[in-house]
Every structure is written in structure tokens, then in C-alpha cells.
Structure 1
Amino acid sequence: MKTKQLWICSAIALASSAAHAQSSVTLFGVVDLGVQYTKGAGAGSVRALSNGGLSTSRIGFRGTEDLGGGLRAGFWLEGSLNPDSGTGRATNTNNQPTGATTAGGLTFDRMSYVSLSHDSWGEVRLGHDFIPTHYNSIYFDPFNANGVARAGNLTFAGVGTGPLPTAITGSNTVSYWLPGKLGGVYGMAMAGTGENDSSVANSDDGNFAGARLGYASGPFDIAAAVTRSQFSSTAAIGNYTHANIGGTWDAGFAKFFALYNRVTVKLAAGTVRKNTAEIGAHIPAGEVGRIRLSYAVLDDRSDSGLRTAGGLARSGDDARQLGAGYVHNLSKRTALYGTYARISNKGEARYVVSGGAAPASGRSSSGWEFGVRHLF
């Protein structure tokens, strides 16, 4: 009889615990593949199966546990995929060039964190996440930082034409996110570390901090962000600051986008400065279609002492990009899309459309892609 009573009491205790701490885990993802052709004037062309022309291919797991009193624990593990080759994407372990990995097995290069959140005081995350300025790059670019026409072809450029280690994501981070009930105000602050030994000369390399603050109400959404990363100055890298501001306005007949970026990198020989401005729109085309348009310009204002390989002032290495595309939704989960982009380079600039072949100095880069995206 005592044994039976013990089992009954244990069952009641477990049921009470489950009611108090409910949890859930979700598997989600995107598979996005297309046929792509890119050409670099004065160089060559590439025909390829492209990946992520509309949305980044990925697989992820997320979960929450209700701890009661408005408090929740959660986790998020999300990794990019290369479904054309069956591999995972590269990531960076310490926010420095030395921490770069190569594509291969699955890595949770997009998000990898554990969190505690509360309805009133917000959320704290620990792990790997997008940096504050990249959220603006995603939300205020008509191409959502994906495909041949992404604004990142210009805005991700640090010293050269590619991104620096902390331009998109950061490892070893702690971030705080404002709660969602602030009358349209939203924001977050983040700090990350390179985890270097304090006894080495470049012990601060890979350390960074940043913040994002925005306001969304009705058809308007606007946000500003800044991220500053520390690196010992060399010919290829140095203290890196990225600031941007962007916004959208949904006018009904079209949704308009604007994004302005300013990048500063303090090299040993001088300071690189790049300003990029983009405008664009989404225009409904029937009940299931959407036209996407964008125009971006990059103005290089680097120190006069910084020269190109040909001996010219690199401040003349400007560029402009035109992008146009169409998305046709077959369902809530599946869409067909097509995109075209062209970059016109000046001086000795060699900016290139995503996935493309690098052009000769000062020549154009162009490309198109047609693909299908499926969400699950």
C-alpha cells in the first residue's frame, strides 16, 4: 500500500513539474538552390549551381522552457548549408583571421546560443550570433543580404572587397535584448572577445562591442547600429568600425528601403573609409508575386597615402550596383525567383557580385540567377 501511495505522489509531483516548466523544441530550415551565371569583365565567367539566392540555406534547432513567472530558458542552434555540395559553411572561432574555418561538416555559423528571457526585462544571450550592424543589413536591404544583388557586395567590404572577421557574426558573445512591449522601441547591445592570452602583444584582437536601437510603428521601421572591433594595425587589418542606419516604409502599393553604411579600418599605413548608400523597393505583382529593385553606390574616402597596386590613390576605387529581381510564391513555404545584378567599378576597384568571378581592375561584374526556395 505504501509503495502504491509513493507512486501516486511521484506521478503528481512530475505532473506538477511539467505544468510549471513546459518546454518545446523545433526543427526548422531552408533549402534554396538556383542556376547562376556570373561574368567578370576582362577576366572570365562562371556557370554554377548557386546557393541562397533568396534565403540562406540552413538547418536549425530552437527550444524554450517556461520557468514560470514570465521567465524562460532557451537555446538556438542554426547552421548554414551548401546543399549543392552537401557541406556546411565556414565559421570563425575567435573573431580573428586565425579563427577562420573552411567549409565542410555542419557548423552552427549563424547562431549558437543559450538564453534567459523575461516578458518585462528582456533577454540575455551567450554564444555566437549576428552582430548589431548585420541586422540592419538583413532587414533594410531589398534583397535581405542574399544573392547576386545583395547590398553586402559593397557594404560587407572592409579593407578589400571581402568582409572582415566581425562584419557579419561574432563568437564568444554576451548580448542583451530589450523586451518586446516598449511601444515600438527595440534594440540590443553585444560584446564579444577574441579570448587571447593577456601576455601576447595582440591580446585585444577580436574583441568587439556594438549596439542597435530602432523604432517600428505601422508602416515605418527605422534603426541605427554601430559595431567596433579591435585589431592590431597591419597592412591588411586594424581597428574596425562599422556604423549604419536604415529604414523601410510600406506605402501599400510598394515597400521602400533605404540603408546607409560607413566603414572605417585603421591600417598601419593609413585609414580606409568607405561610405555606401542604397535605396530600393518591393513592388507587389499580383497576389503572389513581388518585384525587387535596388541601387547602391560606394564612395571610397580613404587616406591619400593609401595606394592601389597600380600606384593610384585608392580613394578613387568607387563602385555602383544595380539589382532587379522577381519572386513568385507557389505557397507559404515554396517560391520561385530570378535576380540580375551589375556592379560598375571605378579606378582599380574589383567589387564582385556574390558568387561571381572577380573582374579586371576597374571593370564591371554582373550575374543572374534563377532558383527555388523551400522552407520547412
Structure 2
Amino acid sequence: MKKHLTRGALAAAALAAAGAAQAQSSVTLAGLADMYVGSMRMAGDATRRNTAGSGGMTTSWIGVKGVEDLGGGLQVGFNFTSFLRMGSGDSGRFTGDTFWSRDANITLGGGFGTVTLGRWMAPNFLPTILFNPFGDSFAFSPLVLHANVSLYNGTGWTGTSPADTGWANQVAYTTPGFGGLKATLHYQFRDSAASGHNVGADVMYFSGPLGLTAFYERAQLGNPVAATYADGSTRTNWMVGGSYDFQVVKLFLTHGQARNDVSEVKIKATQLGASAPLGPGKLMASVAQSKNSGLDKTRRTIAVGYDYTLSKRTDVYANLMHDRITDYKSGTSYAVGIRHRF
């Protein structure tokens, strides 16, 4: 006997189907707001800069992320996230940065691992921010400053990661975890106006209190726009690092080198750091030292700070940093700030 559905039954079935579809996919608005008030002076700066700055501990960002369960263990996802300069309300980390400079990618994942297509993090990013006590602070982490922040104050000091922390036009493959070990292979294609390409890989291992990492990059393109270097060089960059959590203190150690094959300049960088729980927050201390063979100078940056947890999503912090380069006047910076994730 045939069964006929009433309009009510059809509506109920449609709603149930819609609910099932929604249960298999999600879109999330997410971001982070970080502002600080302080006084900044890097080595070689002519004057001190008092500022209400954006991104004291983490660069502020906002965007949308989504994922859909395709069944059979497969998932497809997307990420569109933009960096923000909260003090001015401008997008990007700096003038000329692309709008979706943090993420603009689509992913396909399953038991085989994850493939990412589009703009995404470079091989240097996670190993650098996970193996220093100040994390992804582009204002106060000595390791991040030496790796990714060039000084435009007459010192001629450049970062050791010439291709930026994110690569455009890339395809990346991340393996599934193998007993705490995970690796990612990266390849960046040139755009229509450039020649060359970037390749790299990063490896991370976490087991109990022990963490180990390494990355390697071979770059012919700068970023965020995939453009050939003006000197036509190929630039290599590598780092190895480790951490160990003794509960009362967590120690960090990294060492790496960047090299330009045209100028033959080498920059060797070493960082030692520590963090320790104190009350509802943690104390942080780090020192990084880099030697630039082209400038024949050494840079040393020391930072200490305290990060106080207010909730799972909000913390306040206070940092003090001293920066020094051979033959230049040193600089001291200090700030207090607040960071909120949503």
C-alpha cells in the first residue's frame, strides 16, 4: 500500500533534513583583539615613541571559518581572516598588506592528512611562535622580532625569515599525527608577474613535557605579494628548537640561520627562553642573539613580562624589553595591554 505524506509531514521532513545538513557543517565568526599602551624604542631609533599600539602579544585579526563533513571521514573547510591595526582601524599588519593577509584558503582533510590551497602560514611560523615564551608577539618576543621584523631606522637590520610568515598561492600538505609527530610540506607558486617559487617544510613533535621542532625554507619570492626579490637571490632559512616543561618552569631553546646566495650574507640566531606559572598567570623571559655577517654586527634583545589570565578568553599583560645592536644606541620598550579572543 502506498503512503501519502501530508503538507505537515513534508514540512517536518524538510526541517529534519535541514537540521541534519546544518549539523554536518558550521560557519564561525572568530577573531582576536589586542591593544596596549606603552613606550617603544628599538636599537638605533633616533627617538622614543609613546603609543597606544595594536597587537602587543598577538596581532589583532577577524574573519570567518567554516567546515563541512562530507562523510567517510572527509571534511572540507575554508578560512578568510584579516589582520587589523586596531589603533587606526586599518586592515593588514602594515600599509600595503593584502586584506586577507592572515588566511584565504580552502582545505580538504581526512585520514590521509590535510591539503591546504591558498594563502596560509609559511613553514617558519608555527615553529617560531610555539617555541618561545612570548608566543606570537611581534612587539615583544625577541625570537619573533629577530626572525620576522626588519628595522627601518638606518641600522640595516633585516629579519631571518625573508619570505614572511605567510605564503600566497601555495599548496601545503600536513600529515596525520604519528605518535606526537606531524609534518607539513609547503610549495608556493609564482604569480603572473614573478619568476621562481618557494618550497619548505616544518616538523613538530610533542610528547608529554617534551617538544621538538625544525623547519627549512628555500625562497625566491617575497610576500605578502608573491614577487621576485629585487636582487634575484634565492634565500634559505632554517631553525631547530626544543622545549621541556618541568611544571615549575618551561624552558625553550632555538637556533637557526638565514642565507642570501647573491650577497652571501648569513644571519645566525639563537634564543633561550623560560616561562613559569605564577598565580593565575605566568612569568616570561627570553633573550635572542643574532649575528649578521654582512653588517659585521650583533643584535641582542632581552624581554621579561607577566601575562595575567582573567578568563579563558581574556588576559592582561605587562612587558619590558631591551634591544641592542653593535655600534648603535640601545633602546628600551615597555607596555601594558589587554587581549581578548572571540
Give the TM-score, by structure 1 length.
0.79
Deviation, 1:8, is 5.5
Deviation, 1:151, is 1.5
Deviation, 1:140, is 0.8
Of 272, 277, 293, which aligns to 2:270?
277
* Residues 48/233 of structure 1: CA separation in 2 closer, same or farther (3 Å cut): closer
* Residues 194/29 of structure 1: CA separation in 2 closer, same or farther (3 Å cut): same
Of 304, 309, 320, which aligns to 1:329?
309
Letter in 1 for 2:74: L
Uncovered stretches (5+) of structure 1, i.e. residues with no partner: 92-100, 303-313, 348-361
Whether 1:228 and 2:225 are equivalent positions in the alignment is: no
- Structure 1 SS opposite 2:124: helix
Between structures 1 and 2, the one with greater strand share: 2
Deviation, 1:121, is 0.5
Question: What percent identity do the matched residue pairs reach?
Answer: 29
Residue 37 of structure 2 corresponds to 35
Deviation, 1:332, is 1.4
Of 271, 278, 281, which aligns to 1:289?
281
Of 174, 182, 189, which aligns to 2:185?
189
Residue 172 of structure 1 corresponds to 169
The answer on whether the counterparts of 1:321 and 1:344 sit within 8 Å (CA) in structure 2 is yes
* Structural RMSD (CA): 2.7
- Structure 2 SS opposite 1:145: coil
- Structure 2 SS opposite 1:363: coil
Uncovered stretches (5+) of structure 2, i.e. residues with no partner: 222-227
Within 2, Cα distance between the matches of 1:346 and 1:374?
A: 37
The answer on whether the counterparts of 1:114 and 1:125 sit within 8 Å (CA) in structure 2 is yes
Residue 146 of structure 2 corresponds to 154
The answer on whether the counterparts of 1:123 and 1:179 sit within 8 Å (CA) in structure 2 is yes
Residue 84 of structure 2 corresponds to 81
Deviation, 1:3, is 8.6
Letter in 2 for 1:283: A
- Which moved further from structure 2: 142-151 or 7-16? 7-16
Of 283, 292, 305, which aligns to 1:300?
292
1:174-207 CA distance string (max 9 Å, x none): 0001113x2111110110112135xxxx622xx2
Within 2, Cα distance between the matches of 1:64 and 1:87?
A: 28
* Residues 116/143 of structure 1: CA separation in 2 closer, same or farther (3 Å cut): same
* Residues 210/10 of structure 1: CA separation in 2 closer, same or farther (3 Å cut): farther
Residue 241 of structure 2 corresponds to 246
- Structure 2 SS opposite 1:183: coil
Of 194, 198, 205, which aligns to 1:215?
205
Within 1, Cα distance between the matches of 2:82 and 2:39?
A: 26
Within 1, Cα distance between the matches of 2:315 and 2:172?
A: 34
Within 1, Cα distance between the matches of 2:341 and 2:142?
A: 20
Within 1, Cα distance between the matches of 2:19 and 2:117?
A: 26
Within 1, Cα distance between the matches of 2:175 and 2:81?
A: 22
Within 2, Cα distance between the matches of 1:156 and 1:375?
A: 23
Letter in 1 for 2:191: E
Give the TM-score, by structure 2 length.
0.87
Letter in 1 for 2:311: S
* Count of paired positions: 327
* Residues 131/274 of structure 1: CA separation in 2 closer, same or farther (3 Å cut): same
Within 2, Cα distance between the matches of 1:211 and 1:185?
A: 13
